[in-house]
Structure 1
Amino acid sequence: MQAEVRGARPPGQGAEARAMSRKAAMSGWIGSTLEYYDFAIYGQAAALVFPAVFFPSQDPTVALIASLATYAVGYVARPLGAFVLGTWGDRHGRKNVLVLAMMLMGVSTLAVGLLPTYGQVGVLAPVLLVLLRLVQGFAVAGELGGASAMIVEHAPADRRGFYASFSLQGTQAGSILAAASFIPLAAFLPEAAFQSWGWRIPFLLSAFVILAGYLIRRRVAETPVFLEETARGGAPKAPVLQVVRESRGTIVRCVLMALANVVGTTVVVFGAAYATNEAYGVGMSPATYLWLPLAANVVAVVLIPYFGKLSDRIGRRPLMIAGPLGAGVLSFGYLYAVGQGNVVLTIALAILMFGVLYQVWNATFASYFQELFPTRHRVTGFAVSQNIGLMLVAFLPSVFAFIAPPGSANVPLVIGGLTLLLCIVSAVAAWTTPETSRVDLRDLEQPGRAGIATAAPDRERAGAA
C-alpha cells in the first residue's frame, strides 16, 4: 500500500536518500533543541525572576504585567523575522537560514545573562532586556520554518509527518533543558543568590549554542526540491509578496490554527505566575512549579513521534482538530487545581493537557503547514503564518494578568473560558482546510496550485475527514 502513495520516494533513491532524510531530521531535532532552550529560559525567568530584577515596583501586579510583557515582546519581532528570514530561506536555501538564525539566538541569549539589573543602571536595564528579546524573537522566527521545510523536503511522502515531528520534539526537549537548568538553582541556592546571579547561569550556557549550531547546521545538504526549484529559476525575488498574492487564504487559516498555542501559554507562562507570584496567594514554590513543565515536556518528547506517525496514517486534520479541543476543555480543571494549591492534581492535569493533548496538534502542524505552501515560498509562508499566530498568543499572559489580576476570585473560569474559545477557533480553521498528507510536493510547484489550492482528491478527502 505504501508504494501507491503519491510522492513516495522513487526507486533509485534508496539508502542514500533515506540516510539524508534521517540526517535532516536529526539536524532539525538538535538545532531546535538548542535554539528553543535559549528562547524558553527567558519565559521561565520572566515569570520567576525578572519582576524583581528588572521591573521593581510597589505594585506587584504592575511588575508582573511588565515582566510578562517583555516575554511577549519577543513574539512581536517574530513576524519581522519571519519576513526577513523566510525570504532568506526561500531565496538562499534552508541550510543558510538555519545557521544564521541560530547564531543570532545564541549571541542575544548570552547577552541577557550579562545584563546589569535595574538597581545598577536604572531604566537602561529593562530597555536593554527588551532589545535583546526582540533579537531573540527575530532569530527564532526562522528556526522552525527552515528546519521543518528541510525535513519535509528530504522525507519520503508517506513519512513526512513522522520526520517533521522531530523538529517539534526538539522544541520540547529545549524546554526540558530550560526548566531543568533552573530547577537546581531555584531549589538549592539561597533566594538572594538566585535573584542576584543564579538566574544568569542558564543564559550564559548559551555560549555553547553558538559553537554547536555552527557545527551541526553546516553539515546538512540543501534539499533536492529547493535545488530543482532554483535551477528552474523559481526562487522569487520577493517571496513575501508572492505568498500573499498566491496563498493568502492559507495564511489566514494557518494563523487561526496557530492560536492553539494558547495551551502552552496558559500552562507554562501564566500558570507559573498564577502558582508562584505572592500576589495571587496560591503559594507554590518556584522550585516545585518548575517540575510541572518539565514533567509535561518529558511526556511530550516521548509522544510526539507517535502522533507524527499517526498523522501519516489517518491524515493531519483529525489531529489538528481533536488536540486543541481536548486541551481547551481541560484548561478549567487545570487552573482550578492551581488555584487550590493542589500540586499533584496540577501536575497530572498539566501533563494531560500540555504533554498529551496539545502535542497531538503540536506534532502535526509543522508538516501540515509546510505541505500547504509550494517550494518557492514555503519557508516564508510557514514562518509568516506561524509567527503572526504566535505573536497574537504571546500577549495573552499580560492580558490574563490584566483581566484576572491578583485578588480575583474567578481566575479558572475567566482564563479557562478564553483558552477554550481560542482552541475552538483553531479547530474550526483546521476543519475548513484541506487534507495534505498524500499531496506530492512537486504538484504544488505548478502555477495556480499554491497554498489552499492543492489537488482535487485532497479536497474530497478533506470533506470526508
Structure 2
Amino acid sequence: MSTTTRSPADARMSRKAVTAATIGTALEWFDFTLYGAVSATVLPKLFFPAMEPTAGLLASLATFGVGLAARPLGAITCGYLGDKLGRRNLMLATVTMMGLASVLMGLLPTYSQVGVWAPILLVLLRIIQGFALGGESTGAQLMALEHAAPDRRGRYSGLLGLCSPLSQILANGVLMGLAALLSSEQFESFGWRIPFLMSFVLVVVAIFIRLKVDETPAFVALQNAPVKPVKSPLKAALGSHRKTIVRLMLFFCSPAALFYLIVIFSLSYLTKHLGMSQSMGFMSLMVANVFAILGALAGGYLSDRWGRKKALAFGSCMTLLILTVYFPILNTQNVAAIMAIMGLFLGFTQFQSGIQPVAFAEAFPTQVRYSGSALAYTGANLLIGGPMPMIAVWLMSQSGNSPWPLVSLCAAINLISLAMIVIGPETRGIDLNRVADQPPTEGEPRVLFNKQPSN
C-alpha cells in the first residue's frame, strides 16, 4: 500500500470532494427517483389514460426504464470526456442537465391537454435525465475517491452509496407530505409537479459546491506521467479490460435489480395488489431507506477493515437469504413487519452499493477508470435494473399474482453476482494515482487488473 504523506490541504480537499460528490449526486438521484415514485402511482392515469390499468402501469414503468437505458450513452460520452479532459467539468455539466430536465418535467402538459405529445415529451426528458445520471454516477464517485486517502476510501465509498437511499427519503417524504396536505384530485392535478420544479434550487446549490473542488490528484498525475496518452479511453477499456467490465457488471446486476424491485415495484405491489394507501407505501419506503443509509455506511466501513471481497460476499449472502421471505412477509399486511423486512432487504442491498464505488474505481487504471467503471455500472442497470419493475409486473400477471417465479429469477441473479465476487481479485490498498504503464509501488497488490499492454 502506498504510504504517501498527505498534507492538511490535501485532507481538506478530500473532505470538500466527498461533500461535493455526495450532495450533488444525492440531488441528482432525488430528481431521478422522484420520477420512479410517481411512475408507479399517478403518471399512468395522466399520461397513459387510454390503456387498461395494467398496460398503463407497464407503459409508465417503461418510461422509467427508458431513463435507465439512456444511462450507458451518458456513461460512454462522459466517460470518454472524463478520462480525456478530467472529472470536475463533467460533474458541473451533468448536474445542470439533470436539473433542467426535471424542471421541464414539472411543466409538462398531460395527455388530456396535448394528446400523444405528452408521453413523447415525457420520454425525451427521461432520456436526458438518464444521460445525465449515466455520466454523473461514476464521475462523482471518482471525484471523491481519487481525492481520498487509501485507508479511507471505503468510508468515502459508503458516503457515496447513501446518495440513492437519501434521495428516496427526500423524494418520498416530499410526496407523502403533499399527498397528506392535498386531496387526491389536487395531487394528481398539480401536487406531483412541485418537487420537480424545486430542482432549480437544487441545481444552483450543487453547482456552487462543485466549483470549490480541484481536479483529482489521479488525473493530474496522469497528465504529468511520462507515458503515451490513450487515444480512446473507451476503446482501451473495452479492449484490455473487457473481462473486468463484464465481471463487475454481472456482480452489480443483483444490487441493481433488487434495489428497483424494492423501491419501484414494491410500492406498486403494496398499493395496487395489497390495497395499502399511498401514504403508507411511501412511509414504508422511507423507513427502508433509513436502513439503506446505515447499510451503505456499514458496507463502506467494513470494506476498509475486511477487504472488498469479503464484505461484498457477506452482503450478497444476506440479500439471498432475505429474498426467500420477502413477499410472504409483505403478504401479511402487518405494517411493522413490512417496514422491518423492507428495511433489512434494502439495507443489505445498499450494503453492497456502498462498496461498489471503491470496488469499481480500484479495478481500473486512471486512463480508463471513468470509462470502465461507467460501462460496468450502467450496463448492470440497463441489463436488469431498469427492466426489473416491468419484469416483476409481467411475471406476477402471468403467474396468477404468485411471487415465486419472481423470487426464483432474483435468486438466480443473486447467485451469479455472488460468483462474480468470489472469482474477482482483492483490490484494497491499490495506488489509484498509478497509471497502467507504471510498476506497482512497494507493498502494493500486484494481481489487480487484467494484463495491461503498453499504450
TM-score normalised by the shorter chain: which range applies? over 0.9
Provide the residue aligned with 2:349 in structure 1: 358
Among residues 357, 377, 380, which one is paired with 2:371 in the alignment? 380
Provide the residue aligned with 1:329 in structure 2: 321
Deviation of 1:285 (Å): 0.7
* CA RMSD of superposed structures (Å): 1.8
Are residues 1:59 and 2:52 paired? yes
Q: What SS class does the counterpart of residue 190 from structure 2 fall into?
A: helix
Are residues 1:345 and 2:337 paired? yes
Provide the residue aligned with 1:316 in structure 2: 308
Paired residues for 1:184-195 under 5 Å: 184-195=177-188
Matches of 1:275 and 1:228 in 2, distance apart?
Answer: 51
Are residues 1:217 and 2:194 paired? no
Q: What SS class does the counterpart of residue 430 from structure 2 fall into?
A: coil
Provide the residue aligned with 1:244 in structure 2: 238
Provide the residue aligned with 2:117 in structure 1: 124
Provide the residue aligned with 2:20 in structure 1: 27
Q: Over residues 100-151 of structure 1, what are the superposed CA-to-partner deviations in whole Å (9 max), with x where a residue is unaligned?
A: 1101100001111100001111111001001100000000011121111111
Checking the alignment, whether the CA contact within 8 Å between 1:271 and 1:335 is kept in structure 2 is: no
Matches of 1:155 and 1:401 in 2, distance apart?
Answer: 42
- Larger deviation: 433-442 or 65-74? 433-442
Q: Over residues 406-447 of structure 1, what are the superposed CA-to-partner deviations in whole Å (9 max), with x where a residue is unaligned?
A: 882412x12222112111111111111100012222445226
Checking the alignment, whether the CA contact within 8 Å between 2:161 and 2:353 is kept in structure 1 is: yes
Among residues 7, 13, 20, which one is paired with 1:14 in the alignment? 7
Among residues 276, 283, 286, which one is paired with 2:271 in the alignment? 276
Checking the alignment, whether the CA contact within 8 Å between 2:290 and 2:343 is kept in structure 1 is: no
TM-score for the superposition, normalised by structure 2: 0.93
Q: Across the two proteins, how many residue pairs are aligned to each other?
A: 443
Q: What SS class does the counterpart of residue 368 from structure 1 fall into?
A: helix
Letter matched to residue 163 of structure 1: Y
Provide the residue aligned with 2:96 in structure 1: 103
Letter matched to residue 227 of structure 1: V
Matches of 1:158 and 1:235 in 2, distance apart?
Answer: 29
Are residues 1:438 and 2:429 paired? yes
- Larger deviation: 44-53 or 171-180? 171-180
Provide the residue aligned with 1:420 in structure 2: 411
Checking the alignment, whether the CA contact within 8 Å between 1:334 and 1:349 is kept in structure 2 is: yes
Matches of 2:298 and 2:228 in 1, distance apart?
Answer: 35
Provide the residue aligned with 2:453 in structure 1: none
Matches of 2:251 and 2:290 in 1, distance apart?
Answer: 24
Matches of 1:457 and 1:320 in 2, distance apart?
Answer: 19
Deviation of 1:303 (Å): 4.0
Checking the alignment, whether the CA contact within 8 Å between 1:28 and 1:166 is kept in structure 2 is: no
Q: What SS class does the counterpart of residue 276 from structure 2 fall into?
A: coil
Q: Over residues 233-287 of structure 1, what are the superposed CA-to-partner deviations in whole Å (9 max), with x where a residue is unaligned?
A: 655332110111111010001110111211111111111111112xx3x101111
Are residues 1:139 and 2:151 paired? no
Checking the alignment, whether the CA contact within 8 Å between 1:259 and 1:422 is kept in structure 2 is: yes
Checking the alignment, whether the CA contact within 8 Å between 1:337 and 1:343 is kept in structure 2 is: no
Deviation of 1:399 (Å): 1.3
Letter matched to residue 406 of structure 2: I
Q: What SS class does the counterpart of residue 427 from structure 1 fall into?
A: helix
Provide the residue aligned with 1:265 in structure 2: 260
Checking the alignment, whether the CA contact within 8 Å between 1:316 and 1:368 is kept in structure 2 is: yes
Among residues 369, 373, 388, which one is paired with 1:396 in the alignment? 388
Provide the residue aligned with 1:80 in structure 2: 73
Are residues 1:255 and 2:249 paired? yes
Q: Over residues 75-112 of structure 1, what are the superposed CA-to-partner deviations in whole Å (9 max), with x where a residue is unaligned?
A: 11011111001111111111111111101100001111
Matches of 1:322 and 1:316 in 2, distance apart?
Answer: 10
Alpha-carbon spacing, 1:242–1:448, altered in 2? closer, same or farther (3 Å): farther
Checking the alignment, whether the CA contact within 8 Å between 2:218 and 2:434 is kept in structure 1 is: no
Q: Over residues 381-402 of structure 1, what are the superposed CA-to-partner deviations in whole Å (9 max), with x where a residue is unaligned?
A: 1111100101112111111111
Letter matched to residue 262 of structure 2: V
Q: What SS class does the counterpart of residue 317 from structure 2 fall into?
A: helix
Matches of 1:325 and 1:446 in 2, distance apart?
Answer: 37
Alpha-carbon spacing, 1:225–1:40, altered in 2? closer, same or farther (3 Å): same
Checking the alignment, whether the CA contact within 8 Å between 2:182 and 2:191 is kept in structure 1 is: yes
Letter matched to residue 375 of structure 2: V
Matches of 2:229 and 2:190 in 1, distance apart?
Answer: 48
Matches of 1:319 and 1:68 in 2, distance apart?
Answer: 33
Matches of 1:390 and 1:209 in 2, distance apart?
Answer: 25
Alpha-carbon spacing, 1:18–1:50, altered in 2? closer, same or farther (3 Å): same
User: Structure 1: any 5+ residue segments left out of the alignment?
Assistant: 1-5, 460-465
Matches of 1:234 and 1:142 in 2, distance apart?
Answer: 25
Provide the residue aligned with 1:291 in structure 2: 283
Q: What SS class does the counterpart of residue 436 from structure 1 fall into?
A: coil
Q: What SS class does the counterpart of residue 404 from structure 1 fall into?
A: helix
Alpha-carbon spacing, 1:395–1:182, altered in 2? closer, same or farther (3 Å): same
Alpha-carbon spacing, 1:113–1:407, altered in 2? closer, same or farther (3 Å): farther
Letter matched to residue 360 of structure 2: F
Deviation of 1:342 (Å): 2.6
Matches of 1:58 and 1:147 in 2, distance apart?
Answer: 39
TM-score for the superposition, normalised by structure 1: 0.91
Matches of 1:391 and 1:263 in 2, distance apart?
Answer: 14
Provide the residue aligned with 2:358 in structure 1: 367
User: Structure 2: any 5+ residue segments left out of the alignment?
Assistant: 450-455
